Amino acid sequence: MTAITLDSLDLAALLCSRVCHDVISPVGAIVNGLEVLEDEKDESMRGFAQDLIRKSARQASARLQFARLAFGAAGSAGAAIDTGDAEQVARGFIQDDRTTLTWNAPRVLLPKNQVKLLLNLLLIAGATIPRGGTIDVTLTVENDMGSFKVITKGVSARIPAAVPGLLAGSPDSGTVDAHGIQPYYTGLIARAAGLDVSLTLDGDSVTILATPKPEDA
């Protein structure tokens, strides 16, 4: 496989497409709920529409807050991010009726690329359990360098075939599209943070490790 490099404009456009994909569904549901309130006289239907709007507004807000930390600048160059803030947005984005998030991490300030990497690893973790399950996060810190272990468990757990190549910057297809931009971006962040990422599958469990490269350990 040959490593590829995206033009900065293409990278920005693909990341924007990813964020829009995440928020379009709840925003569309809000619009639908408002239309029902405008036209519907039945109180039970109006109540249903109001519940839909509330739920979708919370979901859209959670997804935007997550995207701000996972993909955005999150402060000036060299800024640090509170892992407590990362936990908050992660829970809002991930935890639902199908997936449970367990967070085993001290509340510390870490360089922003390390925190952005952790959040992006959680997105990959979610993709390994397409039918839902559990996501267990463990963070250890030594000399301002974090090491991350994310373990997922669920029925039909898997490592999506394209993810390892995208993480390495060498996709099998030789190209990156909006569907693959998130794991590709995760690889960029990992290299910028000085961390190596590996994924292993064992039965109904996937383990994702992010550890300092030997020269940075």
The CATH number that applies at residue 56 is 3.30.565.10
- Whether residue 197 is contained in a domain is answered as yes
Write the CB contacts of 142 (distance below 8 Å, at least 6 apart in sequence).
Answer: none
Inside any domain, residue 3: no
Is 199 in contact with 163 (CB distance < 8 Å)? yes
CA distance 158 to 204: 8
What is the model's pTM?
0.91
Per this entry, what is the length of the chain? Answer: 217
Specify if 136 maps to a domain.
Answer: yes
Cα 36 to chain centroid, rounded: 32
Does 2 fall in a domain? no
Residue type, 184: Y
Domain annotation covers residue 96:
yes
Residue 67: give the domain boundaries.
Answer: 8-212
Mean pLDDT of successive 10-residue stretches along the chain, which has 217 residues: 85 94 94 90 89 94 94 70 94 88 94 95 96 96 92 96 95 90 96 96 97 73
pLDDT at 200: 97
Q: Number of structural domains, the chain? A: 1
**What pLDDT is stored for residue 40 in this prediction?**
80
Displacement of CA 86 from its chain's centroid (Å) = 11
C-alpha span between 145 and 92 (Å, rounded): 25
Q: How far apart are CA 147 and CA 217, in angstroms?
A: 10
Q: What is the pLDDT of residue 201?
A: 97
